[in-house]
Amino acid sequence: MAGNSQLTVAAHALTWIELHHRREGGVATSERIAGSVNTNPVVIRRLLGRMRDAGLVRSRRGAEAGWVLARPLEDMTLRDVYESIEPAPLFAVHRSDPNLDCPIGFGIRPVMRLAYARVEEAVRAELENITLADVLRDVLASSHPTELEH
């Protein structure tokens, strides 16, 4: 994959759970969510499992099993979601050690790591400006031909 689509799928799942709750009530199952995302239910369960560990959703097992939001979408930002799924770093230093006998090879890694830490924080700060309620509102604002299913 070119970029990382996990944040997209996570936002999709969370807003789907909320819309399902509004329209039909009750818990959302990984199978229904996967039907909307167009992926395998296990992919959804893995992703929601990490969000549950971070306190964003709760799961129930046994009969009437499924997923519910742990708090309103207004109180959940894309930063919360991003951090809950613990994505790989956006930038990396050399995959194999550079030549440490060269001043550049010796000193460049910590310098670049510091730069990348600043960039990652800028990413998180930007994601913090967007709540999942914003996402759901903008999604529903786009005209939809039927809106029969979800």
Partner DNA sequence: ATCCGATGTAACTATTATGGTTACTTTGAA
Partner DNA sequence: TTCAAAGTAACCATAATAGTTACATCGGAT
User: Which chain residues interact with its own copies by CB under 8 A?
Assistant: 1-5, 7-9, 11-12, 15-16, 19, 35-39, 78, 88-99, 101-112, 114-116, 118-119, 122-123, 125-127, 129-130, 135, 138-142, 144-150
Q: Binding DNA by CB under 7 A: which of 59, 108, 116, 139?
A: 59
Q: Which of DNA, its own copies, none does residue 25 bind to, with CB < 5 to 8 Å depending on kind?
A: none
Q: Which of its own copies, DNA, none does residue 54 bind to, with CB < 5 to 8 Å depending on kind?
A: none
How far apart (Å, rounded) are the C-alpha atoms in residues 36 and 46? 16
48 lines the binding site for DNA (CB under 7 A): yes
Provide, rounded to whole angstroms, the least separation between the CB of residue 14 and DNA: 14
- Per the CB < 8 A criterion, the answer to whether 28 and 36 are in contact is no
Task: Kindly tell me which of 65 and 140 has the beta carbon lying closer to its own copies.
Answer: 140
Angle, nearest 10°, between helix axes 41-53 and 30-37?
110
Rg of the Cα atoms in the chain: 19
Interaction pattern, residues 91-130, with DNA; x per rule: CB under 7 A: ----xx----------------------------------
Angle, nearest 10°, between helix axes 6-23 and 30-37?
120
| Cα four-point dihedral sign 93, 98, 104, 107 | positive
Q: Is 145 helix (H, G, I), strand (E, B) or coil?
A: coil
